[in-house]
Structures are given as structure tokens and as C-alpha cells.
Amino acid sequence: MSFRSNILRKINSLFKFKSKPFSIIKPNESEYIDMSKSKIIIYIIDIDKNLIDKKKNLLMIFDMDFTVLNENSDYEIRDLLSKDDRELVANSKDYKSWADEVNAYFNRMKLRGVTIDDIKNRIQRIPLTDGFNEIFHTIRQIKLLKGIEEYKNTNLDVMFLSGANVKYVNWVLEKHSITDIVDDYISFSCKDIDGKLVVGDYHSHSCKSCDKSLCKEKAIKDYIDNIVNTKYKDTKNFKYDKICYVGDGGNDYCAGIAISDINVNYKNHLMVRKGFILHRMLYDHEGNPRPKSKVLKCEISLWGDGYELSKQITKNFLI
Ligand SMILES: [Zn+2]
């Protein structure tokens, strides 16, 4: 088998495209192999390979609302209701959890004839934060490198950890064509029950700071325990060399706690969006660290949009 076919075979298997053939332009070459007369997808590897270590296990975790997306999905869909209806739901004090509150909005929507398709369309209209298309492009490039022999030990896993719900996450992945680069996602469960969405807790936990539906510290620690025993079960003593978590909100603080505790070969990074709640939790208005940031043992980087984040990822995470 030629070197080139070997690359294609590996990448096909990596992306599970066995029945959807595609072609690749090998780095620094301007030709490609047709794999099918019916459909050809061409990927061009244009990343600076010097940015990537040849043997590194990396995990990137993204929050979704106000991070990947430039809005909060749960707030956006409330516009599908009238102002009166929104106030009626908002003023009710019956909620024991975030999931309860979200379900109250869904109940009202069902009553008003708002369909699941209406909700999906609304979610899919939310734009990505500026610069995230470039970040996803870089991630796809790094994942493609794995098909090349010298980078076969480079693993970049990508996970979404969202306080929205699994349906929203799926709709976002589909809309922005990133299902191929996001390996896993964790969010609230969400079911279609007789044309109405119903969300449920992700897990139970003992964290005092988090809503009862989800604590990101436990979610990340459980996820890593799980991946070591599943995806990497055949890799002796597998552990990630470096983890970065990208987020903005108060519930992302527990993610910072998680990556502070996880034993890795390099320092982990918490990448905090400037001007949002997590930033204000960690620093005062003059930029001095607050006690909560001193608790964290990971590195902290700040970013405003995806372009700035991209630079942080390149400088602090990939190398
Ligand atoms: Zn927590």
C-alpha cells in the first residue's frame, strides 16, 4: 500500500467515512486522488505543522453559550413567546432547578403552538462568536494530521460541555458543520415528548455552588475517567498531556477546579471570555486576582473573540 493510500485509509477510518469516500491533498502537493465518482470532499492541510507536537494527547473542552455561540441559547428561544408569557414564566417561583425553569418555557411554548422546528430554527440562527470558524478549521487540520505517519501519536480530542441541552448542541453542530471535529458532548438530556421538549438533569452531584442539574467539575472528571477506560483502554497509562477549557459563565468556574486537579504533563489552561461572569468572578475591575482565582492551579488566559482565543490556543495550548 502506498504512503498516500495509507494516509487516506487512516483518515477515512478516523472520520468513519468508509462509505463516504473523500480525497485529500497531501501537504505541499497540489494533486489529489479521486475516491469516488459520486462525491469528493477535498481537505487541504495548510496548518503550520511546527505548531504541533508529534506526540501529545490534547483535550479541548468548549462551553457553548456565549462561548462558541455569541448568545445564550436558552434566553434566545424565549423570544418565541410574547412578552406577557415570558413574564408569566419568569415570575413563577416554583423552580427547583434550571431544568425546571427551562421546561416551564417549553410548556408555555407548546400551549402557544410554538413547534420544535421553530425552536430549532431559532437556535440555528444564533451566530458563532467571531473567529470560531477559524478555530474549527485549525482543529480539523490538526485532526487530519493524525493520518500522517509522523503524527499518528498526536491526539486532539474536542468536547462540548454545555448547560443548554443535547438537542441544542446537536443542532449547533449540524448547522455549523462541525460534527466531524467534536468527539463528544455533555449537556442536559432533552426529549421530544408529544411535540414538546422536556429537559432533564445531566447527573446528580454534591457541589454546593452549582445548580442541581449539572456540575462541570464532576462532569469533566467523570468524562476523563470514562475515556481512559473506553476510547484509550488499549493505551497503557493513558493520560492527557494538556487540557484547555474555554468558557465564560459562573458554572465554568467548576470546570477550572476540575482542570486544576487533573494530573497532566503540562499546566492546563482555563480560557476565560473577557467581560463575562467568570472573568468578573476571577478578577476585580482593576484586573487584580480575586480569592477565587487564587484557588485555581491552572493557567488562566483571557480572550474577547475567537481571533484572540485562536492566538491563545496557539501560544499556550498547542505548543
Ligand atoms: Zn460545581
Could you tell me the sign of the dihedral formed by the alpha carbons of 108, 169, 123, 92, in that order? Answer: positive
Q: How many whole angstroms separate alpha carbon 181 and alpha carbon 58?
A: 13
What pLDDT was estimated at residue 4? 54
The DSSP-derived string for 5-39 is: HHHHHHHHHHTT-TTS--EEEPTT---B----SS-
d(CA 276, CA 48): 32
Residue 35 has pLDDT above 60, yes or no: no
Rounded Cα distance, 315 and 151, in Å: 20
- Domain residue spans of the chain: 3-44, 49-72+128-318, 74-125
Helix ranges (H only) for 35-131 are 73-76, 83-91, 98-111, 116-125
Query: Ligand 1 centroid vs 113 CA: distance in angstroms?
Result: 36
Give Dmax (Cα) for the chain: 67
Identify which of 116, 80, 112 has the alpha carbon closest to the alpha carbon of residue 192.
116
pLDDT given for residue 3 in this prediction: 54
Compute the distance from residue 245 Cα to the ligand 1 centre, in Å: 15
Q: What nine digits make up the cell of 226?
A: 470514562
Q: Which residues surround ligand 1, an ion (CB under 5 A)?
A: 207, 209-210, 215, 217, 254
pLDDT digits (tens, 9 = 90+) for 154-196: 889 999 999 999 999 999 999 999 999 999 999 999 999 999 9
pLDDT at 30: 33
Cα 238 vs. chain centroid, distance in angstroms?
22
40-77 pLDDT, tens digit each:
455 566 667 677 777 789 999 999 999 999 999 999 99
Residue for grid cell 482565582: 293
- Model pTM? 0.85
Q: Please tell me the CATH code under which domain 49-72+128-318 is placed.
A: 3.40.50.1000
Q: What's the CA-to-centroid distance between 248 and ligand 1, angstroms? A: 15
Residue 46 amino acid letter:
D
Which position has the grid cell 496548518? 47
pLDDT at 80 over 80: yes
Lowest mean pLDDT: which of 26-35, 107-116, 132-141? 26-35
Q: How far is the CA of 115 from the centre of ligand 1 (A)?
A: 33
